Amino acid sequence: REPAAILRSEDRGNTWRIFPTSFHMGGNAPGRGVGERLAIDPSDRSILYFGSRYDGLQRSEDRGETWSSVASFPLRGMGWRAAPRGEAGISFVVIEPAGAEKGQPSRRIFVGVTDAGAQHLYRSDDAGASWTPVSGQPRASLIPVQAQLDSRGFLYITYSNGVGPNGVTDGAVFRYDTRSGQWSDITPERGPNRAPGGYMGLSVDAERPGTVVVATLNRGARRIGRRWRSS
């Protein structure tokens, strides 16, 4: 909960500029595996979004130099002084570039939220001016921790019943069709005999749509993780 900053390099990492932020982070706090919290709009790279731990959804229009809270987003965060230990806030921001004109902000954005509540996944279809919960999302006891979008418009999401890295006993993997609105449960292991634990790690092959790798979280008494690949 110390003061935080966004760093930016324009020479492939040889030098960096530091831009302090008014919101706090928590790089080694519970839920440190969620993400990706930071997203650059592929249609207008001056626009960045950051899903903060304590202060809701943040937006920059000058490549990360200054930030302001997205007032239209329905969850504003608890503030770092009031938030209980283990609070992870917004877990990820995913921007879909499809349909956006070059130089104009992307219109479709997905945001995952780990805070307690009935809804954990929100979408905007008007570049963040308004937000709605995604219909048909998994039960509220599962929270979305990581997400990636493939070139076909499928949003892959790993779920756990906690932000980790400890205390997680249940989880799932879902695929959401951003065009039709259809959900598919693609959890690698199901049934009463599967080991307890959730899912966290997620990677989608950008060149081979449908190829996905997921990793388990806090699995079993010995916490031996497993990776699953689908193609």
How far is C-alpha 218 from the geometric centre of its chain's CA atoms? 19
The string of pLDDT tens digits covering residues 167-191 is: 999 999 999 999 999 999 999 988 8
Within 13 A of 102's CA, how many CA atoms are on the CB side? Answer: 0
35, 27 Cβ separation under 8 angstroms: no
pLDDT at 97: 84
Q: Distance between CA atoms of 125 and 106, rounded to whole angstroms?
A: 9
What average pLDDT does the structure give for the chain? Answer: 92
pLDDT at 3: 83
The string of pLDDT tens digits covering residues 50-106 is: 999 999 999 999 999 999 999 999 999 877 766 667 789 999 999 998 666 777 899
Minimum mean pLDDT among 13-22, 48-57, 66-75, 218-227: which range? 218-227
12 — alpha (psi -120 to 50), left (phi > 0) or beta?
left
Task: Mark 6-22 as b/e (b = at least 16 C-beta within 10 Å).
Answer: beeeeeeeeeeeeeebe
Mean pLDDT of 123-133: 97
Per-residue pLDDT band at 222 (split at 50, 70, 90): low
Structure tokens at 92: 């990820």
Give the SS3 label for residue 35: strand
The residue count of the chain comes to: 231
103, 43 Cβ separation under 8 angstroms: yes
Q: Distance between CA atoms of 134 and 165, rounded to whole angstroms?
A: 26
122, 130 Cβ separation under 8 angstroms: no
pLDDT at 221: 56
Q: Which of 101, 109, 120, 102 is nearest to 34 (CA)?
A: 120
